[in-house]
A and B are shown apart, each in its own frame.
Chain A
Amino acid sequence: MLAPEILAEFAALLGPERARADADTRALYARDETPRSCTPEAVLFPASHDEVAGLVRLALRHKLPLTPRGAGSGNVGGALPAPGSLVVSFECMNRVLEFDPDNRLVVVEPGVVTDDIDRLARSKGLMYAPDPGSGAYCRIGGNLAMNAAGPRAVKYGATRDHVLALRAVTGAGREIRTGSRTTKYATGYDLTRLLVGSEGTLALITEATLRLVPAPERIANLRVCYAGNRAACEAIIRVMRQAVVPSALEFMDRRSIEAIRAYGGAEGLPEGTRAVLMVAADGAHDDVPRQIAALEKALAGEGLIEIQSGFTEEEIARLWTARKSLSMAVKKIAPLKINEDVVVPVTRLAELVEAIDAMGRRHRVPLVAFGHAGNGNLHVNIMVHQDDAEEMERARACRRELVETVMRLAGSLSGEHGIGSEKRGFLPLEIEADTLALMRALKQTFDPQGILNPGKKLPD
């Protein structure tokens, strides 16, 4: 428990409603989407940049670690409280400070929900391109900290590519502004890009200027069925090699299709389908059919079973039924999913998928792989029963082998979910010791006392 006199100092800064140490509040903020929890000492709800700066100074004075938190939807323990820490929840900082359609930008506080930014943009014919699956509830501060991305990233890029400027408070209590309102061009070093994806370990982000893009007039979809994983992976390479960039290129492997079949969601998938690509195109009204034609040409090849296109909302919804049933279908296999979000060069995807298939068999654990294949980003789900110790052990070995395989294929540990507490142990497999040492020096530069999100991002 936090000493009452210290809590009183935070309460004097934020007001008693927004500096809470009651058991209920602390329990509510004890976990994110990771199957793990740790009760924080208190929960703070700053409502402005100045309050954030003030609470960091207080935390420094009392040497108290802080765990920043958006919506807690992260699945690598990014917002999982460190023992003895105070959670800083940004949900009261949820104002849109400025919306400037002429300059195609919006200035927001970190607690604004991602989809709300997109909705606002669309009211003026624009859109906020990053589209994480959790967009309906995750907050932009969490997206910035994780460099979140969704299916549209293959065409529009990740959160990082849409940030013009940030305002933040470093772990040393310094108030900084990075970047500028102009087209992502900053003076000096690119601190903006350094803070994006730093998982709350360098600074608390209090304000973000985000770039908006013209909203497409129209979207169309293709559902493409293949006889096997390799045929689908080869089609992905063909698509990425030609000039029409799809606005989504999602892959489901053989196991995903099997799971959907077992769940009863495979109605409409032709006989013999063992891998599926979901492909989207967007843009000006007359250009979309042309893009679809170019994509169809690239998608056709050995192992193709069927291509179906959808141009209306109903058609598109119908094509997506199988894909939409996947997360429920996967849950049927086993209650716990260990989600790895690995990434390899697109050209190595076929090798990765093959290796995943083999390692699932070898370790006797169900492995389901799907994801944003256009970027080489796969979500590999190891399905297990938490109470089966022997199975959990096999899953652990399998996970290790997966990471090693990804490294062998010149890939990376995470494409979008981040490192958090859950993957940092693997980091030395990807990043050499000297480079890690430099990253620690960098952390030290921003956060000399190590109060920001300890136990995350970097290995001990």
Chain B
Amino acid sequence: MNLTDHLQEQVRLAAERGTPLAIRGGGSKAFYGRAVEGEPLELAGHRGVVGHEPTELVVTARAGTPLAELEALLAEQGQMLPFEPPHFGIPLPGPLPLAGEGGKDASRPISIATVGGMVAAGLSGPARPWAGAVRDAVLGVKLLNGRGEVLTFGGQVMKNVAGYDLSRLMAGALGTLGVILEVSLKVIPKPAQVLTLVQEASAPEAAARLSAWGRLPLPISASLHLDGRLHIRLSGTGLGVAAARNAIGGEAADDAVWAGVREQRLDFFRAEGPLWRLSLPPAAPALDLAGATLAEWGGALRWLRTEAPAAKVRAAAAVAGGHATLFRGHDGTGEVFHPLPPAALILHRRLKQALDPEGILNPGRMYAEL
């Protein structure tokens, strides 16, 4: 259903009255970022794939389209989203929940994540360092700015240098710059073969191997290091995968581990307490902090469970050349993302001002100042 007019009216009214809006897709990533106090703006009803032909390498969907529905549609055509987005809408443990409110469509198991929320959160799954992030796949965006005007950025072509690249600015902006109405995404054909391998490795050993493999043209499409075991996924042509298997070594393992890490269904993620998401140079040594670590993305993404004070975690990440996000296990009132340097913060404020002059769109979701 196309709810553009209705949503536009809501945003216009809110702008007039200066009412903050809390934008909501499926609510699957409500835990991510800071808490927003505002009138809910519901996008879930604004749904539907508006353009996808089997011959196209692009799909255009409204923001409220369930991510599972989009992925199922692509899978029918042998296609997929390159960045393997996490859904996070799936309760732990147990089977996938049923579709919609109260599962009206009981035949279709589905998560609650929506396409708009996926783009706004900008989170990507295990394939990200090799296949690109959400924002790399965003070709165009239609959105409502903070005045309720409909704006279109980019389009459906792979390359486009007309105007400024505003569509990608929306990926990861957590709805603070606009209400995403519709998005065009690049899709890719599914690989012919996928193989998961596992081998014993300490953290330094894993880093050394990943670094060596990283310089070879191997079809690696995911990595996971946890508890002295290194999982590697190979995706490609049959022969390419077989050859890479010989080069890498290890035992074949269950592919399900990737969905487990992507959806944070592994035991590692179930513990109580703060969960940090560290973005580090892939070869950076383990941070000197007490706690458990799970490493993905060839070492560039580390999940850290620690009780260490936030300032200490952030400082350690910064010294290592990266930054830290407090992902789960916080109350949504403190700092979640790495603080911005003053010059950057000024620019961020001005950008926010340009798109949302009244400051009504998800205020404070990303930073208290935005």
Interface, chain A (partner B; CB < 8 A): 100-105, 124-126, 146-147, 149, 153, 157-158, 160-161, 170, 174-178, 180-185, 187-191, 193-194, 196-198, 202, 214-217, 237, 240-245, 282-284, 286-287, 290-291, 294, 343-347, 372, 375-377, 410-419, 423, 427, 430-432, 434-436, 438-439, 441-446, 457-458
Contact = CB atoms under 8 A, between A and B. Distances in A.
Contacts, number: 251
B217 A216 contact: yes
B297 A439 contact: no
A183 B126 CA distance: 13
Contact of B337 (A188, A282, A443): A188
Given A190-B172, A242-B189, A147 B152 contact: no
A198 B164 CA distance: 6
A410 B157 contact: yes
A183 B128 contact: yes
A174 B282 CA distance: 30
B56 A191 contact: no
Q: Most B CB atoms within 10 A — which of A104, A182, A242, A419?
A: A182
A228 to B, nearest CB: 19
11 contacts: A103-B284, A104-B282, A181-B321, A183-B282, A187-B337, A189-B172, A190-B171, A214-B214, A346-B57, A377-B159, A412-B157
A436 B159 CA distance: 19
A284 B218 contact: yes
Contact of B240 (A198, A290, A344): A290
A432 B143 CA distance: 13
B354 A445 contact: yes
Contact of B161 (A170, A194, A282, A418): A418
Most chain A CB within 10 A, of B158, B219, B338, is at B158
B168 A182 contact: no
A190 B347 CA distance: 11
Contact of A147 (B161, B214, B297): B161
B217 A243 contact: no
B322 A181 contact: yes
B162 A284 contact: no
Contacts of B155: 410-412
B189 A286 contact: no
A416 B162 CA distance: 9
A410 B51 CA distance: 12
B367 A284 contact: no
A182 B298 CA distance: 11
A124 B212 CA distance: 11
B130 to A, nearest CB: 9
A457 B163 CA distance: 7
A334 to B, nearest CB: 27
Interface residues of B, number: 84
B58 interface: yes
Contact of A431 (B53, B163, B337): B163
A439 B18 CA distance: 24
B340 to A, nearest CB: 5
B157 A283 contact: no
A105 B168 CA distance: 22
B310 interface: no
B8 interface: no
A183 B297 contact: yes
A197 B55 contact: no
B177 interface: yes
Contacts of A124: 215
B70 interface: no
Given A177-B344, A243-B189, 12 more contacts: A102-B283, A105-B281, A181-B322, A183-B128, A191-B347, A193-B168, A197-B165, A241-B189, A282-B217, A376-B159, A410-B155, A432-B152
A251 B281 CA distance: 39
Nearest to B352: A189
Nearest to B323: A187
A149 B159 contact: yes
The 9 closest A-B pairs by CB, nearest first: A287-B240, A415-B159, A445-B350, A441-B354, A183-B300, A102-B283, A412-B160, A290-B239, A182-B279
Given A104-B282, A158-B159, A343-B157, A188 B55 contact: no
Contacts of A244: 237
A438 B54 CA distance: 34
B343 interface: yes
A101 B191 CA distance: 28
A186 B161 CA distance: 22
A185 to B, nearest CB: 5
Nearest to A185: B279
A294 B53 CA distance: 23
A169 to B, nearest CB: 10
Interface string B118-159: 000000000011001101100000000100011111011111
A185 B133 contact: yes
Nearest to A374: B158
Contact of A188 (B215, B280, B284, B340): B340
Nearest to B122: A190
Contact of A174 (B162, B346, B354): B346
A430 to B, nearest CB: 5
A193 B135 CA distance: 9
A119 B237 CA distance: 29
